[in-house]
Structures are given as structure tokens and as C-alpha cells.
Amino acid sequence: MLLPNINHPKQLKNLTVDQLNDLAGEIRRFLIEKLSVTGGHLAPNLGVVELTLALHYCFDSPQDKLIFDVGHQAYVHKILTGRMDKFDTLRKKNGLCGFVKRSESEHDVWEAGHSSTSLSAAMGMAMARDLKGEDNRVIALIGDGALTGGMAFEALNHIGHEKKKLMVVLNDNEMSIAPNVGAMHNYLSKIRSDRTYLRAKDEVEMLLKKIPAIGGKLAKTAEKMKDSLKFAMVPGRLFEELGFTYLGPVDGHDVGKLIDTFNQADNVEGPVLVHVVTTKGKGYSPAESDSHKWHGITPYKIESGKVLKAVGNPMYTEIFGQTLVELGEQDERIVAVTPAMPGGSGLIPFGKTFPERMIDVGIAEQHAATLCAALAMEGMKPVFAVYSTFMQRAYDQIVHDICRHNANVMFAIDRAGFVGADGETHQGVYDIAFMRHIPNIVLMMPKDENELRHMMKTALDYDDGPIAYRYPRIHGRGVELDKELVPIPIGLWETVRAGEGYAILAVGPMVQLAEEAAELLKREGLSVQVVNARFLKPLDETMLKELAAGGTSMLVLEEASQAGSLGSAVLEFFAEQELFDTVVSLMGIEDRFIEHGSIPEQREEVGLTLEQVCNRIRSFKTSRASTLGKRSLMS
């Protein structure tokens, strides 16, 4: 056994290629065993075992900067850099992060939960290196899926222009999370299948070597001949034209060839792109046969590959997908648009039912948003199905292309609120704050899965501009689903529990927490009204005025950034109305990033618990009693 003795990548340099292959097998067995218990990104990591070994064998981390795009494929890197003994804590609170994390190790030089950033980071590090007069290597590992992101092309353009010495390793496994789409994918597919150039290049090199002496004009002629052949037949011509030296395709599971290629690439002055072809899920047949399903997986049985799913009600995402099919049958104008997340966003059923109305644009959220605007302007009903965290990337397009044009785009914002094990890079807690202030948009969030269905109907029937419904990454409450869907009047809140003197204005899953708190406080003699504040914009101004007029003390309860979300909107409203005596308290997520763990643990960390909600209402009673006492003394 080699793996138990590896705690630093420099130890790989003492191993032979055969030993590295043996080590690759041990790492795969380790990952399959550990992730069967914790879950995690299995298929991406099984696909980069040899590739990661070869990179660490050829280069000297952390002096040489090894940058992982997204970072969900860095488990092997974590194993080789001394974190193998922490894999039982993977993606758990205070445990090993599922992505690269700078605070975990000096070998983690760049962290990201979103794709297509590695090339920009590599360029920045290469420029800093040169400005400081250092000579370390900079290597960016990016997948072919991430290469569909516009930011990656911006970086390729700049790198090629500046001619800085750095290496881009293109991990080509034909996948991001879902199968890749677009012209770049087709181009890379052509490269993978083109063996003519590889044979021709070898023949030219052999021919040149046989010439006894190449000097002067003969040398220039030979180089021109080689270059002419190269540009006539080279499959990586696009990258060459961008200013890169292109090497590949290389078998990403052949350690020896990878090492030879990386050494060759290291001798190149200027930017070089090494095209590596890998198999996602390599070495574990269930993951190889369905790498989409096994991209990010819950615990499973190793022998059968059977996924151990938690028993519970359908997820909100599933309800969204089913309902969209229903609505699609009623209205042929509905078009679903997703940035490379058809499975995660619940759109597979819609895509199977209406393939011509299912649009996957790849990892290109900005393009998706503007595309939706244009579809809407031409009379279609686009549904932009996107995770809250990924929608952040399309902010400019939401402002200028959708909202400014008042385009009738429907936003289906998945993963709203805490997301659990994916952690701080994926928390969906900022979208209210960055969308609420944009003119023309309507924002909604349901208290349960049945209300989500009615909100989807509301959005479909709404013709006055952009409208969004956001929903969490949790199981539904198990309520009965209405067969007939009816629109909800825009801006109308719902009182789900009557009360007097105190009110909790709750959003989404927090409505259930508010109901539980009201029931508990009832035993203490406190009558608490619970309001389903389902419209985040516009507010139910009539209800707010009535609550203020009745002297009701209000608690705004939301699983979102406290700065800029519903609580801020309520305070702004009362300030505008000059109702300065109204008592309003806020409970949301404080001004910091919340790391990985379970959703209940994350809620507890920020105080969104039954106990804390009850304590806040009790504080109203104490404050009110104190105020009344002071008034009595004064009289």
C-alpha cells in the first residue's frame, strides 16, 4: 500500500510510473469507499486521478500555483496534500470543504464554487510573479464544460495577447454537470477524433531529424514546412491562433504520457494549452455509465451503486419540474432556459416532453438572461431556471436587458436560502437584496410546495414585466396539491394564523418556523399573528399600515441576507410613511459568509431557530411592559 504513506506531493517524485499507476488505483478505491458514506462529487474526481498525480509529480506545489476551476474535482489534490485523514468529515460542519479552500491548506491557492474563473486567476498570478521577479510555474486546470463560460474566453484572449508563461490544462471529459452543448463542445469533439494530425506531426519530426544539418535558409524552410503542415491539419488551431502552443490530445489516464507532455509543456516559453481527454467516473462502472447522476451524489451502496435516498416528501425542485410540464401543455409559448443545469433545476421532464422548447445554453448565465429578454420581446414566455448563486453572474443582464426593457421573463430561482453541504459559494441568500431594488420586477416566495404551483401560474398569467419565484433546496411540507392552479393577486400577503399585539412576517420555509413559535408562545399567553409575506416586491402596504395602526410589534423572519432583503424593505416603507413609532425587529442572516454543513446547522448558526424566534417575541413583551411602566410613573 502506497497511499497511507503519502502526505505531501513531493513524495510522489520518488515513485516510478508503475507505482503511480498503483497509487491511482488505491486513490480510486479510497474515494469510492469514503464517498459512499459522505456523498460528494464522485465522478469528477474519479476522472482526474492520474491527471492530478501527474501534475503534482511534475510541479512543486505550493511554490508552483496549481489552480482548479470550480474545485469540486480537487479531492485527489486534497488527498495528496495531507488531508486524507479528514475525508470522513467531507462537506460536514467544521469538516473538509467539498471545494478548494485557502484556509485548509497552503496548497489551495485559489478557491471558487462557480466555473470559468481559473484562467483569469492564473493570469493574475503569472503577472504578479513576473512583477515580483519570481520564477514559479502557474498551471490552471479547467474542464471543457467550464470553457463554455464567457469569462474563460475573455481570459484566453488576454493570456494570448500578453504571452505570459503559464499552462492551461484542458480536462476534456465531454461533461460539465450535464452533457455539454455548443460550438466549443463540437470543436473539442472533432479534436478528440482527429488522429491524422498526430501521425503527420510525428512523421514530419522524424523527417527533420534525418536531415544531417539544418542551418540558415534550410532551417527556416524546414520550420515553415512544419508550421504549414501544422496550420493545415492541427486540430487545436483555435488555441494556436489565440497565442497558445497547443499540445494534445493526451490520454488523461496514461500517467507516463501525461508526465512527458507536462515536461514538454514546461519547456515552452509563453502560454501553452495541454488538451487532456479523460473519462468522468473512471474506474467505477455505475459512475462511468451515468456520470451525470454521479457528478454529485448522496451516500450509496458500493457493490450495487444503489443511491441511499432520504425518505421524504418531494423536493421543491421536483414540484417545479412537474408543474412546468403541466403549464407547458397549456401554453405553447413557454420556453425553459437553463445554464447547464437541466437536471439540477428539475427540467428533464420538460425537456423530454417539449424538446424543441428546452434550451440549455451551457455555463453562460449572462447569455441566458439576455436570450430570455429577447424571447420575451418576441412574444414567448421564457422561464429562466437558475440557481440563486449562479444567477448572481447575470446581474448586469437582469438590470439592463430584462428589467430596464420590462421584458416578461419568468425567473425560477432554485436553491434560495441555505444550501447545506455546498457551503458559502452556493448559499442562495443574496438574490432578494440584489433584485429587490431593480425597477419593474416582482419577487415571490411560497410557504409550501402547493403555493409554489400557484405562483408559477401567477407568473405565467402576469404580462406586465419580469416576475420571479424563488424556492429552497429542501423537501416540501407534504401538503395536498391543488389540481386547479389559480393566480395570486400581486402584492397580497396572507395571514396564516391570527393574533393580537405581535406579528411575525415570515418568508418561505420560515413561515412554518413562525407557526411553530406562535403555537409555543400561545401557552405563555402571547397571541402572535403569523403572516406569509409571500411577495417580497411589491409589499402588501395595506397590511403593513393596518399592523402599524394597531400598534402591533413586528418581527421580519427570513432565510436571507438581512442587509437589503424583506426586513430592509419593511423598514424603508415605514420610514417613507413616517410611521416612526412602529416596532420592527429583523431576523435574517448576518453580514458574513456561512460555511458548509447541514441546513439545520446553518440555521442554528445564525439564530434562525424556534428558541431564538420565541425569545425575540418575548423581548417585545418585556420592552412593552417596560414602556408602559415608565408612562405610568410619568402620569
As annotated, the active-site residues are 280, 365, 393
The 10 Å Cβ neighbour count of residue 202 is 10
What is the C-alpha to C-alpha distance for residues 155 and 452, in angstroms, rounded to an integer? 40
Listing DSSP states for 1-55 in one string gives --GGG--SGGGGGGS-HHHHHHHHHHHHHHHHHHHHHH-B-HHHHHTTHHHHHHH
**Single-letter code of the amino acid located at 465:** G
Residue 212 in contact with residue 249, Cβ under 8 Å?
Answer: no
**Single-letter code of the amino acid located at 570:** V
The three grid cell numbers given for residue 358, joined into one nine-digit string:
428546452
Residue 546 in contact with residue 575, Cβ under 8 Å?
Answer: no
Phi-psi region of 37 (alpha: psi -120 to 50; beta: other; left: phi over 0): alpha
Q: What are phi and psi of 592, to 5 degrees?
A: -160, 165
118-132 vs 150-162: helix crossing angle, rounded to 10: 30
The three grid cell numbers given for residue 376, joined into one nine-digit string:
420575451
Helices (H), 166-315: 183-193, 196-210, 216-233, 237-241, 255-266, 285-289
Q: How far, CA to CA in Å, does 40 sit from each of 36, 44, 178? A: 9, 10, 16
Listing DSSP states for 420-467 in one string gives GGGGGGT-B-SHHHHHHTSTT-EEE--SSHHHHHHHHHHHHH--SS-E
What is the C-alpha to C-alpha distance for residues 635 and 329, in angstroms, rounded to an integer? 69
The three grid cell numbers given for residue 477, joined into one nine-digit string:
411540507
Residue 171 in contact with residue 51, Cβ under 8 Å?
Answer: yes
Burial of 525 (0-12, 13-18, 19+ CB in 10 A): exposed
Quote the strand ranges of 55-150, DSSP E. 65-68, 138-143
Cell 446547522 belongs to 601
Beta-strand relationship, 442-444 and 535-537: antiparallel
